[in-house]
Amino acid sequence: MSIFQSRKFWIAVFDVVLSCLTYFAPKLVDPTLAEDILWLIAAWQPIFYALITGTVKEDVAAKSAGLVYDQANRSYTSVGSTHRIACVEELMQK
């Protein structure tokens, strides 16, 4: 799988872009806001960390259940039994 198809990669890129825009745009307009903007960026970081961690846990659960993501069909295909697929799909819907 290419890195450009990775959800974790795009979440991290979005985090960097959003943080840079949030930091530089107000700084150019009103430099007195710099401290507040740094606080805001620091407050967002746990959210992005949680998104990436959740995505990793989903990927690990799917691979542990013997599922492989099929890019052509945009769905998971089984390497193992169908019971395992039903369990993982049920977990992913929650």
pLDDT tens for 1-45 read 688 888 899 999 999 999 888 888 877 878 788 788 888 888 999
pLDDT of 81 higher than 60: no
pTM above the 0.85 mark?
no
**Nearest partner of 45 among 21, 23, 12, 6, judged by Cα:** 12
How confident is the model at residue 38, as a pLDDT? 83
Domain span at residue 75 reads 3-93
Report how far residue 81's alpha carbon sits from residue 87's, in angstroms, rounded to the nearest whole number: 11
Total domains in the chain come to 1
The phi and psi torsions of 6 (rounded to 5 degrees) equal: -85, 125
State the amino acid at position 55 in one-letter form: T
pLDDT in tens, 57-71: 988 888 888 888 777
Output 15 or 85, whichever has higher pLDDT. 15
Report how far residue 88's alpha carbon sits from residue 6's, in angstroms, rounded to the nearest whole number: 20
Report how far residue 61's alpha carbon sits from residue 55's, in angstroms, rounded to the nearest whole number: 10
